[in-house]
Amino acid sequence: MTLDPHAQGLLQALAQMPAPDFATLTPQAYRAMTGGSAAMISPGDTVTRSEDREIAGPGGPLRLRLYYPDAPGPLPLTLFFHGGGFVACGLDSHDNICRCLAVRAKTLVVSVDYRLAPEAPFPAAVHDAVAALEWLRRHAADIGGDARRIAVAGDSAGGNLAAVLAQEARSRGWPLIHQLLMYPVTDCAGESASYASCGEGYFLTAGMMRWFRGHYLGGADARDPRASPLRAADFGGLPPATIITAEYDPLRDEGEAYALSLRLAGIPATLHRWSGQIHGYISMLGLMPAAEATLDCVAGELRRAFGTAAR
């Protein structure tokens, strides 16, 4: 396949801009550099209401944002983790994805503002994810949700956290309905063939991923399954999954390897490789028509997953 014309246009525009030097770039400078990108994209669907909350987290107050669809309750719940390489982004950067998931999947989306590296390196984000799920299980009814129907979701670094949380929930006996992983990071300890074939010139580069991983891990063992869920010893007993990969993405192969690992363990895993696309395209509503199609697709997968549980 060839690059999607919209992706190609974006890459051509980015090529005209000065490229940051990741050898000297600080996370703080990276956050400032990417902070204005939300102004370029569509805000997403209109929810009935959204509200911010704070809960007690392992590192202090943990912010959540709740998105309510126009649907009768109790609502199925989707715990969402944003991407950003573990060092950037937050509730606002992924507001559009959360809105679309809430409206199209008829689910109450709870987005988590987990701690970022390097100020809070691994496994701080994992601890925040576990705390958010524990709170959601206890307080589902208080917010109009159904504790029997909880899914985890995320994109990129957030996909990593969603996959890790699914494994952590299994060890605690906390049942989940589904895991939605959009171009997830699944292996911080290795580099697949797509790092070589797609590691330059397609928005996310192999060098950027090394920079992200270095700040996130802070010297920790990259083979720890809480950092690299693909390296888990056992995939049995995990919830069914929907996994989205992008054809021109260095993370493509590790996301697809995760789907294969689930399938080999007997776990239903639906894999969609989006042809012609680059990493991060789902956030680019208004710029990438494929973002709309993908959100429709994953919302349908969530609806089907939630419909399998007793009400």
User: What is the bridge-based pairing of β-strands 108-113 and 60-68?
Assistant: antiparallel
Contacts 24+ apart (CB under 8 A), 212-216: 212/85, 212/86, 212/87, 212/157, 213/86, 213/188, 215/27, 215/85, 215/86, 215/87, 215/117, 215/118, 215/121, 216/85, 216/86, 216/87, 216/117, 216/118, 216/121, 216/122, 216/125, 216/157, 216/188
> 144: part of which helix (H) or strand (E)?
none
Residue with tokens 């984000």: 125
Contact 146, 278 (CB under 8 A): no
Q: How many CB atoms lie within 10 A of CB 275?
A: 13
Contact 69, 103 (CB under 8 A): yes
The verdict on whether 156 is a catalytic residue reads yes
Catalytic: which of 156, 192, 194, 261? 156
Active site residues: 156
